[in-house]
Amino acid sequence: MSSTLKIEDLHVSVGETPILKGVNLEIKQGEIHALMGPNGSGKSTLAYALVGHPKYQITSGRVEIDGVDVLELDANLRARLGMFLAFQYPVTIPGVKVADFLRHAISNVRNPDRKEGEGLMPMREFRKELREQMNELGMELDFARRYLNDGFSGGEKKRMEILQMAMLKPRFAFLDETDSGLDTDAVRVVSEGIARLSGPEMGMLIITHHERLLTYNNPDFAHVMLAGRIVETGDASLAHNVHANGYDDIRQRHPDAAAEEEAEQEVTTKT
């Protein structure tokens, strides 16, 4: 039986500023959802709030996976529950090798009761699985001996995120503008990697301004966010239409959200 992530009337603030103002969304394992919207509409805020980033304060609403209240769990426990975020700007950690990072991450997720320094995944088993996943993603094995994102190109950082996803096997993956800053060839490589990982065991929320990732990962559902709310939901044709025509038509269909968006932009400009 597949798991379901349910988001109900979610409100999120950063400091004193409300960002999300009642988001409703349901994602099942095996589904691909695309989330689009102008800058500042709240797309990334949704992803960070879901995985438990402390900067994003959830003021009301519910998030559940199969009836488990996600909002009662810290970020570590959410990861163990099967939630994963691929960052728009992955963090660099000099001195920590990719392989060591992945071995500890996998051990924490798969063996949640382990104590620090104990219960690591057996090295032989880990190396076998890592080699298999890297071969599947077309990655050189030397990549695993490098320091995490240290000196990586933009494309390499994003491929590292995909490798993490392949090893951790989350139930729900949120990809925050994974195509940002990449050239056409890098987008193709990353997109193909995501496509290889998609399947019945993983629900995906692809946050993007563009259509490039969606060329290889055709969404089952597309959503458009304005001023902190999802105002329209449809199939892949909605994403294609937004890519071709922008958001003007959607703003006309949702004048209240458009007015709120304009008011927020004026406040930002003044401050």
Q: Which residues contact 218 (CB under 8 A, 6 or more apart)?
A: 32, 236
Question: How confident is the model at residue 118, as a pLDDT?
Answer: 64
* Over residues 49-57, mean pLDDT: 96
How far apart, in whole angstroms, are the C-alpha atoms of residue 126 and residue 108?
13
Closest by alpha carbon to 51, among 27, 79, 23? Answer: 79
How far apart, in whole angstroms, are the C-alpha atoms of residue 110 and residue 9?
31
Query: In the chain, pLDDT over 70 holds for what percent of residues?
Result: 95
pLDDT-derived band at 192 (thresholds 50, 70, 90) equals confident
Q: Give the number of C-alpha atoms closer than 13 A to the C-alpha of residue 90, restricted to the C-beta side.
A: 29
How far apart, in whole angstroms, are the C-alpha atoms of residue 18 and residue 11?
7
Question: How confident is the model at residue 269, as a pLDDT?
Answer: 59
Q: And the tokens for 253?
A: 């269909």
pTM of the shown model: 0.91
How far apart, in whole angstroms, are the C-alpha atoms of residue 68 and residue 201?
18
From residue 236, how far is each of 77, 239, 268 by CA, in Å? Answer: 33, 5, 32
pLDDT-derived band at 203 (thresholds 50, 70, 90) equals very high
Tell me the per-residue pLDDT of 103-128, one tens digit each, with 9 for 90 and over. Answer: 999 998 887 666 655 678 899 999 99
**Contact 218/32 with Cβ under 8 angstroms?**
yes
Q: Which fold has domain 4-86+171-188+200-270?
A: Rossmann fold (3.40.50)
